[in-house]
Amino acid sequence: MLRAIVSHPSGRIGGTIVVIYVVVALLGMFDVTPHNPLQQYRIDRLHSPNASYWMGTDLFGRDVASRLMKGVGQSFFVGFCSVTLATLAGTVLGLTAAWFGKAWDGLVMRIMDVLLAFPAILLALLIIAIAGPGTWTSIAAIAIVYTPIFTRVVRGPALSIKAREFVDAARTFGSSRRYILTRHLLLNLVAPLTVQVTLALAWSLLTEAGLSFLGLGTQPPASSLGLMLADSRNLMETAPWLLIFPALAIMISILGFNLLGDALRDIFDPRTRRSAA
Amino acid sequence: MSYLTRRLSTFPLVMLGVSILVFVAIRMVPGDAITAMLGTEAGLLTPAQREALANYFGIDQPIAVQYWHWLLGVFRGDLGISVTYGKPVLGVILERFPLTLQLALMSMCVALLVGLPAGVFAATRNEKMSDLAVRIFAMIGQSTPNFVVGLLIIYALSAGFGILPTMGEFTPLLVDPLRNLGQMILPAVTLGFAFAASVTRISRSAMLDVLSDDYVRTARSKGVPKRSVIWRHALPNALIPVVTLSGVEFGYLLGGAVLVEQIYALPGLGRLVLDAILQRDYALVQGCVLFIAFNFMVVNLIVDLVYVALDPRIRLGEGG
Amino acid sequence: MTPLLSVSNLRVGFGRNPLENEVVRGVSFELAAGETLAIVGESGSGKSVTALSINRLVDFGGGKIISGTVNLARTGNSILDLAKADEPVLEKIRGSEIGMIFQEPMTSLNPVLTIGTQIEESFRLHRGLTGKQATAAAKDALDRVRIPDAARRLKYTPNQLSGGMLQRVMIATALACNPRLLIADEPTTALDVTVQAQIMALLAQLKRETGMAMIFITHDIGLVAGIADKVMVMQAGEAVEQGGLGDVLDRPQHPYTRHLLGAVPHFESGRAARSDYVRDQLEMASPALRVDGLTVRFKVAGGVFRRSPGSVHAVENIDFDLMPRETLAIVGESGSGKSTTARAILGLVHPTRGGFATHTGRIADATDPSVQMVFQNPYASLNPRLRVDSILAEPVIAAGGRVNGETRARMAALLKRVGLPENCLERYPHQFSGGQRQRLCIARALMLNPSIVVLDEAVSALDVSVQAKVLELLVDLQREYGLAYLFVSHDMAVVERIAHRIAVLYAGEIVEIGDAASVLSNPQHSYTKRLISAVPSIDRRNQHFELDTRQVPSLVRPPGFEPPVAQWRSFGPDHRARAEV
């Protein structure tokens, strides 16, 4: 598996980006940063990047590089938690909907249709409006937004696997429902799920940044990439580093997950192997 | 059952679900319902006034009854009164909607005009340098959040050319088309950027799939020239995923592009919702969310109609 | 006189490095005007690639002609080397001078265009016809392939027509501009045998009418006899033998040709039926399986405002019994209900009425370990993510057993018995070939010591020479374990090798049942006769096929419909057929 990713060009690039980000995120989360991200160096306010402040300082004289690392840590924490929740919920709902069919399938899928009738960011906003802004609300909001997508991603292939002959064979042996659901369906869903998890991580980073940008995600003084971008708006002409570095940080992280997701899709699906590049 | 009747029959069901979700969600807001309805002003009320209001609004009744009354109102076009604007919610929404619609249409034009030709071009140049260039560009486009695109465009314009996009008061299209387009073109490009990237990617992969289909080989065996193979035989078959993607994206854009409206200071639906949430104007939030979901469902129905026009297999109820 | 087509030393490769990935290795042949050449070979022999190299469609599939010439004599006696021709020249030749039809008629026509548009296109491109003229020409083309009601059918889209009809449309399209060469790449493989006979008849007749030459590609050497003048046998990219029809079929020189002719099942009208089991009266009292009035109906879904128009009567009132050590073949074409019958017996489909009993008692569900099944598609019937040992363990676990040393010993013994290496327990299904996978499926079915094995098209997806070996294995296993087989198949040649008795299914009902030799050599019901006369055979040379455009009747019946009680006629001790009105 690892070898396949490394030998796939976009897998190699995407994988490298993701690994670097995970390291940065961990460092940020455990406060291993060049400066204290909350420390205000009053004399060095809006200092351009130099040897000490790699990415300059902000209006309050805080080190942008440290805040960025902290922000990446925050974004990844929200991303991983929400995607994990969405994956679990979506897998259970999609799998049971596909297997039991009939009324349960109808109920689950109609609820998912209802959730999908809202633009992602709007649904997240609505949830935050109810529960109030904050890290855990963001996590819950993003998880709820992506649950319908995972449900669909699981249900579609699960339905087609259910119609495959090896499931028929299992039924002729009288294999238990649990055995069929886990060994036959779930095991064959690992591939599409892995792809979807990777892509969902990219989206969740995007959503988290958007929510924070609007002031409804991570609350100051904690740092997050969206907040940093929001703060840069009025200063971008005098201190462009406040805009450029967080913007690049967001873009490249999403790019990394998207590339990795694409590579995984190619690797898992022999039909699209030709479009590898 | 044909595809279309099946889809039509779920429409009211999902709308009902949406309305219940919205209604219940708003009532889950911490604090009592009067506060939820009147926002901060509720703090000024005396207990007697509160009681009178509760009776007036019917919120002393069971929630199911409340929902029923609210739903009847919705059917009459009565979405309640916005506290912040002091006007009926529907009126406030309809004031903002033309801008949102215009922005969504313009972004979709940008996306399809750029994305579709780029995708088809890349597919026919599979694995060549030009294909690779298109794909790298599309990948970057898809990986850039639209508010980042917006910020970067504004920065590039101000740092590079010393111009700031016309912020000022928004001018409706019918009042001054030129000024309006001047205000709208950058937001449309901003929103169209990632949208175009998605269209490029999906049309490329759909074309690649279709180009290896048997009937394309048949067309070639008849001596159909390359251009005609691509545009006449392959493209109509590759359009379904493109239509799906465009429909979903367009439907979401009709819900307002909160972030981009915020950046370009445009008074669209997205900012209306955001402000309503920040102001705790719950009648407005409720109305907006319902309106947006309704639009999204209508767009989905239109997409289904397009499917039916595109693919005779769906017409006869085989798809789904 | 120069031949119409002369291919010499053609070599074709694929991928980035065509030389390393050579699929056709130096093939040469000639074809005169009006002549038919059959290219015979199994999958991977390079027969299709050879054909696709002639009109250079191979370029679009990633192939590249490494060397060799493909000379086509054009009108006016000029000669063009297609192997070196440019794409614009080739576009003019395809469709006007070389037509082509393909294996899968269902996917070979553009689903979003009407068939009229697709036929007209050829006339527009090569004859410059437009508007009404093109439409009229398209109608004539459909008339020519004997599609009834052609004017109306022009407006149909491909999903509204059956596979056989679509293949006719394909032929009409390919022959629209009267090409002098038609390449037919397995044109009947995806079709039912009676439909195959119709298409073969049509091709033969059109050939006589137009005087075109034809290259006919097939894996079925039996099909060759009816249509070819010359035969070329291909194996692993090389033409191992070629010559006149009689020479190749009657005096084969190359061992591979002899193998194809000898080892592969060919239909012999009952002469090759098995005779190693005879029913005796004593045993009749205790059959391994008794099926009694089995009926399966599926309700047709109605619309929101419509009532259900009725039910599909997939299987209607089927009775038979199956003795230990006996094979009963259920034969029929697609839609005949043969697979539904098998699935109902395994509990995968609930019967509407009727039932069955094994010697162990009634089967109400799928859990009776004495009945096991082998499915058609060896690629789909093994979970790709499970190792072979887990696959073989599944029936044991399902029956409540434990995977212990004894089980493992049984796995190893069975794998050895079905001819697989013992070390394959730790491998995954994708590491096996199709034939090996089917052996795995057989081993899995035997894990619980069943008394009855249902084989649903169990060898149909395999290459012909692999088919023969798996059939042999099945016969050996039957003798060894005393198994009763219910063998569901559409392939009469295969059925002849394995069946003791045959039940012929048509539109959900048994129309004829009896001992194999008798049914195959002396069919009584009109459908059985039609079915058997449609089976290709190397004995029937350049036979004059009768054109027959009959369609399978609809199985949808109005609510409450009950079919009339069948009247049976006997023809011998164990052979009876349904009386026809």
CATH of the domain at B169: 1.10.3720.10
Contact B151 A130 (CB under 8 A): no
Contact A169 C385 (CB under 8 A): no
Q: How far is C172 from chain B (nearest CA, A)?
A: 11
Other C-beta atoms closer than 10 Å to the C-beta of C322 total: 23
Statement to judge: residues B47 and B185 lie in one domain: no
Statement to judge: residues B138 and B227 lie in one domain: yes
The pLDDT > 90 percentage for chain C reads 48
Q: Is residue B190 part of a domain?
A: yes
- Give the pLDDT of residue A277: 31
ipTM of the complex: 0.83
Statement to judge: residues B232 and B305 lie in one domain: yes
More confident residue, C24 or B35: C24
- Give the pLDDT of residue C182: 95
Q: Cα separation of C64 and C83, whole Å?
A: 10
Please spell the DSSP secondary structure of C367-412, one letter per residue.
T-TTEEEE-S-TTTSS-TTS-HHHHHHHHHHHTT----HHHHHHHH
Q: Is residue B318 part of a domain?
A: no
Across A263-277, B106-120, C333-347, the highest mean pLDDT is recorded for B106-120
- Give the pLDDT of residue A272: 44
Contact B289 A118 (CB under 8 A): yes
Burial class from Cβ neighbours inside 10 Å (0-12, 13-18, 19+) for residue C148 reads exposed
Neighbours of A, requiring at least 3 CB pairs below 8 Å, are B, C
Nearest alpha carbon to residue B274 among A133, A216, A207 = A216
Statement to judge: residues B197 and B62 lie in one domain: no
- Give the pLDDT of residue C304: 53
Q: How far is A243 from chain B (nearest CA, A)?
A: 8
- Give the pLDDT of residue C545: 57
Boundaries of domain holding B70: 10-75
Q: How far is A165 from chain C (nearest CA, A)?
A: 4
Cβ-contact A151, B299 below 8 angstroms: no
User: pTM of the predicted model, to two decimals?
Assistant: 0.84
Distances (CA, A) of B117 to A210, B135, C370: 30, 13, 61
Confidence of residue B166 (pLDDT cuts 50, 70, 90): low
C94 CB within 8 Å of a chain B CB: yes
Please report residues of A whose CB lies closer than 8 A to that of B122: none
Neighbours of B, requiring at least 3 CB pairs below 8 Å, are A, C
A276 CB within 8 Å of a chain B CB: no
- Give the pLDDT of residue B201: 92
Statement to judge: residues B204 and B267 lie in one domain: yes
Contact A125 B144 (CB under 8 A): no
| Mean pLDDT across B179-200 | 90
What is the 3-state secondary structure of B261-306?
A: HHHHCCCCHHHHHHHHHHHCCHHHHHHHHHHHHHHHHHHHHHHHHH
Q: Is residue B87 part of a domain?
A: no
Statement to judge: residues B26 and B127 lie in one domain: no
Residue C303 has pLDDT above 60, yes or no: no
Q: Cα separation of B282 and B80, whole Å?
A: 10
Contact C122 B312 (CB under 8 A): no
Residue B319 has pLDDT above 50, yes or no: no
CA nearest to A225 within chain B: B148
2-31 in chain B: CB under 8 A from chain C: 2, 5, 9
Please report residues of A whose CB lies closer than 8 A to that of B140: 251, 255
More confident residue, B292 or B313: B292
Cβ-contact A93, A108 below 8 angstroms: yes
Please give the angle made by the CA atoms of B176, B181 and B184, to the nearest 5 degrees. 125
| Range name among A261-270, C302-311, C421-430, C435-444 with the lowest pLDDT average | C302-311
Helices (H), B125-234: 129-143, 146-156, 177-211, 214-221, 226-228
Q: Is residue B48 part of a domain?
A: yes
Residue C542 has pLDDT above 80, yes or no: no
A223 SS3 class: coil
295-314 in chain B: CB under 8 A from chain C: 310-313
A163 CB within 8 Å of a chain B CB: no
Nearest alpha carbon to residue C426 among C386, C455, C486, C457 = C386
Q: Is residue B300 part of a domain?
A: yes
Q: How many domains does chain B have?
A: 2
Confidence of residue C498 (pLDDT cuts 50, 70, 90): very high
A178 CB within 8 Å of a chain C CB: no
Q: How far is B220 from chain C (nearest CA, A)?
A: 7
Which residue matches tokens 């075109």?
A: C212
Secondary structure element (H or E) that encloses residue C319, with its range: strand C311-322
Statement to judge: residues B217 and B266 lie in one domain: yes
Distances (CA, A) of C55 to C15, C84, C87, C126, C216: 19, 11, 10, 16, 14
Please report residues of A whose CB lies closer than 8 A to that of C383: 166, 183-184, 187-188
Contact A168 C375 (CB under 8 A): yes
188-217 in chain A: CB under 8 A from chain C: 188, 190
DSSP state at residue C269: T
Residue B318 has pLDDT above 60, yes or no: no
2-61 in chain C: CB under 8 A from chain B: 55, 57, 60
Distances (CA, A) of C468 to B110, B196, C219, C498: 61, 55, 14, 10
Please report residues of C whose CB lies closer than 8 A to that of A185: none
Long-range CB pairs of C85-88, under 8 A, 24+ apart, other chains included: C85/C56, C87/B226
As given in the structure block, the two tokens for residue B103 are 């922005």
Facing residue for B5 by CB, picked from C93, C110, C303: C303
Neighbours of C, requiring at least 3 CB pairs below 8 Å, are A, B
Contact C94 B222 (CB under 8 A): yes
Residue C137 has pLDDT above 60, yes or no: yes
Contact B30 A132 (CB under 8 A): yes
| Range name among A49-58, A158-167, C222-231, C408-417 with the lowest pLDDT average | A49-58
Q: Is residue B133 part of a domain?
A: yes
Tell me the per-residue pLDDT of C354-396, one tens digit each, with 9 for 90 and over. Answer: 877 776 655 555 567 788 999 988 888 999 889 999 999 999 9
Residue B189 has pLDDT above 90, yes or no: yes
Please report residues of C whose CB lies closer than 8 A to that of B214: 102, 104, 107-108
Contact B221 C94 (CB under 8 A): yes
- Give the pLDDT of residue B80: 82
Q: Cα separation of B301 and B247, whole Å?
A: 9
Compute the mean pLDDT over every residue in chain C, rounded to the nearest whole number.
87
A221 preceded by a cis bond (ω within 30 of 0): yes
C317 SS3 class: strand
Contact B222 C304 (CB under 8 A): no
The pLDDT > 70 percentage for chain C reads 94
Tell me the per-residue pLDDT of C320-331, one tens digit each, with 9 for 90 and over. Answer: 989 989 999 999
- Give the pLDDT of residue C19: 87
CA nearest to B28 within chain A: A130
Helices (H), A101-119: 102-116
Statement to judge: residues B111 and B67 lie in one domain: no
As given in the structure block, the two tokens for residue A121 are 């960011």
- Give the pLDDT of residue B8: 79
| Mean pLDDT across C86-93 | 92
Contact B255 A277 (CB under 8 A): no
| Mean pLDDT across B208-234 | 92
How many Cβ contacts (< 8 angstroms) between chains A and B?
Answer: 130
| Mean pLDDT across B144-148 | 90
- Give the pLDDT of residue B30: 66
| Mean pLDDT across C518-522 | 93
Statement to judge: residues B134 and B238 lie in one domain: yes
- Give the pLDDT of residue C549: 60
C394 CB within 8 Å of a chain A CB: yes
Burial class from Cβ neighbours inside 10 Å (0-12, 13-18, 19+) for residue C429 reads buried
Contact C366 A183 (CB under 8 A): no
Contact C382 A166 (CB under 8 A): yes
Q: Is residue B320 part of a domain?
A: no
Statement to judge: residues B54 and B113 lie in one domain: no
- Give the pLDDT of residue C559: 79
Residue C230 has pLDDT above 90, yes or no: yes
Facing residue for C110 by CB, picked from B215, B221, B226: B215
What is the separation, in whole angstroms, between the first and last Cα of chain C?
A: 57
Mutate to test the interface with A, among B136, B258, B280 (most CBs of A within 10 A): B258
- Give the pLDDT of residue B317: 46
Statement to judge: residues B120 and B253 lie in one domain: yes
**Single-letter code of the amino acid located at B84:** T
Statement to judge: residues B134 and B62 lie in one domain: no
- Give the pLDDT of residue C546: 59
As given in the structure block, the two tokens for residue C80 are 């063009």
| Mean pLDDT across B163-187 | 77
Regions in chain A scoring below 50 on pLDDT? 272-277
Q: Cα separation of B14 and B11, whole Å?
A: 5
CA nearest to A111 within chain B: B17
Confidence of residue B32 (pLDDT cuts 50, 70, 90): low
Q: Is residue B317 part of a domain?
A: no
Q: How far is B54 from chain C (nearest CA, A)?
A: 43
